[in-house]
């Protein structure tokens, strides 16, 4: 089993040598604090970049600090594993 120093050393090596981003999840309270809206337009034709489905009437969506929009359930799952936007990779700080 790796100790904490070995885990961080592996993450840093992945970042610098393998171009893998260092990912951390976002705390639930910060995910809940994201701007949340309900789609009220029946003619909305944009889609969620995570699941590729069109935002349906009365669907709950969330806006990240970078401005990108996703289904609430999709982005909640993503942010439990990552601290970046799935599109632009900007760190999501609230």
pLDDT at residue 85 in the model: 92
pLDDT at residue 46 in the model: 86
Q: Is the separation of the CB atoms in 36 and 62 below 8 Å?
A: yes
CATH superfamily of 23-94: Zinc/RING finger domain, C3HC4 (zinc finger) (3.30.40.10)
Q: Reduce the DSSP state of residue 77 to 3 states and report it.
A: helix
pLDDT at residue 52 in the model: 93
Burial group, residue 40, by CB count within 10 angstroms (0-12, 13-18, 19+) = exposed
Answer yes or no: pTM beyond 0.75: no
Q: Is the separation of the CB atoms in 58 and 39 below 8 Å?
A: yes
pLDDT at residue 73 in the model: 94
Domain ranges within the chain, ordered by starting residue: 23-94
Residues of the chain under the 50 pLDDT cut: none
């Amino acid at each position: 089993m790796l100790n904490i120093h070995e885990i961080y050393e592996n993450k840093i090596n992945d970042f610098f040598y393998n171009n893998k981003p260092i990912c951390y999840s976002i705390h639930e309270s910060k995910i809940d604090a994201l701007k949340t809206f309900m789609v009220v337009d029946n003619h909305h034709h944009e889609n969620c970049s995570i699941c590729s489905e069109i935002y349906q009437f009365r669907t709950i969506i969330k806006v990240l600090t970078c401005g990108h929009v996703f289904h609430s359930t999709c982005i909640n799952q993503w942010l439990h594993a990552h601290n970046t936007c799935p599109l632009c990779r900007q760190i999501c700080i609230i």
